């Protein structure tokens, strides 16, 4: 729901997922949730024009926060048609966010969060 909100709400949603992961929300449910989001990207783009970028960033953030395994990208892209928006999301997450130099810090600061966090803090987490 935070995809069509401001950056502050997106950051809060990412932090909430990190805080609830494993203790409240089972990892398999998080996996299923992100899978459904990727599969519904073609529908989401009707209401949220920048779905590809926002969802790619949410997925990259989940990988950086250890909520999703990096293998999620490869597994999901194999199940999607090449011309789908979901495949575009996964490709963008991998190529634009997860392979960039200092990608973890860039992802953590994209929505204005973690301003006092250093690269070493992110790596330690």
- β-strand partners of 25: 21
Average pLDDT over residues 21-34: 94
Ranges of each domain in the chain = 2-112
pLDDT tier at 14, thresholds 50, 70, 90 = confident
Average pLDDT over residues 56-74: 91
Average pLDDT over residues 47-64: 92
Q: Does domain 2-112 have CATH number 3.30.56.10?
A: no
Backbone angles phi, psi at 101, to 5 degrees: -60, 140
Task: Tell me the pTM.
Answer: 0.79
Half-sphere exposure of 31 (CA within 13 A, CB side): 12
Q: How far apart are CA 90 and CA 72, in angstroms?
A: 9
- Residue 20's pLDDT is 92
Supply the DSSP string of 54-80, one letter for each residue: HHHHHHHHHHHTTSS-THHHHHHHHTS
């Amino acid at each position: 729901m935070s995809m069509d909100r401001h950056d502050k709400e997106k950051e809060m949603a990412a932090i909430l997922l990190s805080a609830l992961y494993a203790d409240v929300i089972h990892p398999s449910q998080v996996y299923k949730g992100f899978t459904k989001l990727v599969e519904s990207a073609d529908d989401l783009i009707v209401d949220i024009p920048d779905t590809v970028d926002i969802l790619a960033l949410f997925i990259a953030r989940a990988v950086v926060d250890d909520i999703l395994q990096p293998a999620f990208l490869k597994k999901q892209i194999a199940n999607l048609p090449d011309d789908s928006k979901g495949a575009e999301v996964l490709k963008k997450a991998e190529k634009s966010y997860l392979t960039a130099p200092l990608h973890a810090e860039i992802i953590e600061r994209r929505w204005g969060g973690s301003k006092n966090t250093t690269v070493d803090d992110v790596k330690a987490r």
